[in-house]
């Protein structure tokens, strides 16, 4: 891996799929970087100085200059290291717009409700957010069919921007399925997405950065147990 002598540092937290997005993009591009694990309960001075607005990971620091928010970072990587590795976004303006459309769909219609599944206090709320998440998969299956043009990824032959955004969630998808006992991405209902998930998991870059699913299950289960206990205490 090489990046022309540039100094690149990534501040992250191991469980965050948004951090994995950035790691996946850097590995796909073949760009070397230093990873710094942050304790979000006791943020470092560098962390707070680099992202004083949102105070969230990931933070990419390139030659001393911080770039924040995962989607912004991905686009920055694609532009700052345009001559290194495969591009994340296509060169054609229309195809680039289509990729950004589906990226926004993934964020707003799939990941937003799915994230709430882990943060609600009651089974009823969890069931509703799970329903909304599942409802988003049909149009996304159609989006993959449109973007892939019969090939392996949203980016066609190569892993693209939407693949990285969605691919970083794969360990959490598998952890969710273990915790709930239900298939979030069912090959019977979304065969293209199910095959895509297996395909992206086999990439060397994904194997290098994806979290251990057992560890994610333990982490997510602890969050749910803590929220359930808080809900029970509030009703007493």
CA distances (Å), 77 to each of 89, 155, 171, 232, in order? Answer: 11, 17, 23, 45
**Residue 32's CB: how many other CB atoms inside 10 A?**
12
Mean per-residue pLDDT over the chain, rounded? 93
Query: Is the per-residue pLDDT at 3 higher than 70?
Result: no
Paired tokens of 45 = 């001075």
- Predicted confidence (pLDDT) per residue in 169-196, tens digit: 999 999 989 988 888 899 999 999 999 9
Q: CATH for 93-218?
A: 1.20.1050.10
pLDDT score, position 45: 97
Work out the average pLDDT over 63-77. 97
Confidence band, pLDDT 50/70/90 cuts, at residue 224: confident
pLDDT score, position 140: 98
pLDDT score, position 71: 97
pLDDT score, position 120: 82
pLDDT score, position 102: 98
Query: Is the per-residue pLDDT at 92 higher than 90?
Result: yes
Candidate from 12-21, 64-73, 133-142, 175-184 with smallest mean pLDDT: 175-184
Residue 127 backbone phi and psi in degrees, to 5: -65, -40
Confidence band, pLDDT 50/70/90 cuts, at residue 38: very high
- Which among 114, 9, 2 is positioned nearest to 58, based on CA atoms? 9
Burial class (CB within 10 angstroms; exposed 0-12, middle 13-18, buried 19+) of 66: middle
Candidate from 10-19, 30-39, 56-65, 220-229 with smallest mean pLDDT: 220-229
pTM of the model: 0.93
Tell me whether domains 8-81 and 93-218 share a fold: no
Q: CATH for 8-81?
A: 3.40.30.10
**Angle at Cα 177 formed by Cα 193 and Cα 135, nearest 5°?**
50
pLDDT score, position 54: 95
pLDDT score, position 113: 94
In the sheet that 59-62 helps form, which strands lie side by side, from edge to edge? Answer: 34-37, 8-12, 59-62, 65-68
Residue whose structure tokens are 């994610």: 216
Confidence band, pLDDT 50/70/90 cuts, at residue 4: low
Domain segments of the chain as ranges: 8-81, 93-218
- Predicted confidence (pLDDT) per residue in 137-174, tens digit: 999 999 999 999 999 999 999 999 999 999 999 999 99
Which residues pair with residue 67 across a beta bridge? 60
The better pLDDT of the pair 125, 141 is held by 141
């Amino acid at each position: 891996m090489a990046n022309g002598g540039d100094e690149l540092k990534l501040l992250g937290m191991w469980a965050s799929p948004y951090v994995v997005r950035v790691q996946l993009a850097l590995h796909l591009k073949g760009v070397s970087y230093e990873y710094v694990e942050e304790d979000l309960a006791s943020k470092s001075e560098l962390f707070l100085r680099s992202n004083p607005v949102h105070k969230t990971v990931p933070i990419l620091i390139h030659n001393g200059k911080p770039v924040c928010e995962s989607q912004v970072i991905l686009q920055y990587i694609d532009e700052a290291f345009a001559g290194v590795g495969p591009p994340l976004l296509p060169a054609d303006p229309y195809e680039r717009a289509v990729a950004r459309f589906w990226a926004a769909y993934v964020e707003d219609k799939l990941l937003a409700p799915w994230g709430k599944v882990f943060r609600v206090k009651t089974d009823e709320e969890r069931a509703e957010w799970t329903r909304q998440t599942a409802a988003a998969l049909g149009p996304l299956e159609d989006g993959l069919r449109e973007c892939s043009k019969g090939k392996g990824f949203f980016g066609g032959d190569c892993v693209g921007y939407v693949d990285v955004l969605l691919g970083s969630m794969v360990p959490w998808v598998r952890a969710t399925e273990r915790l709930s006992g239900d298939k979030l991405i069912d090959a019977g209902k979304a065969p293209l997405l199910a095959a895509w998930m297996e395909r992206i998991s086999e990439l060397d870059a994904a194997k290098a950065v994806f979290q251990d699913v057992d560890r994610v299950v333990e982490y997510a289960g602890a969050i749910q147990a803590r929220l359930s206990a808080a809900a029970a205490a509030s009703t007493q």
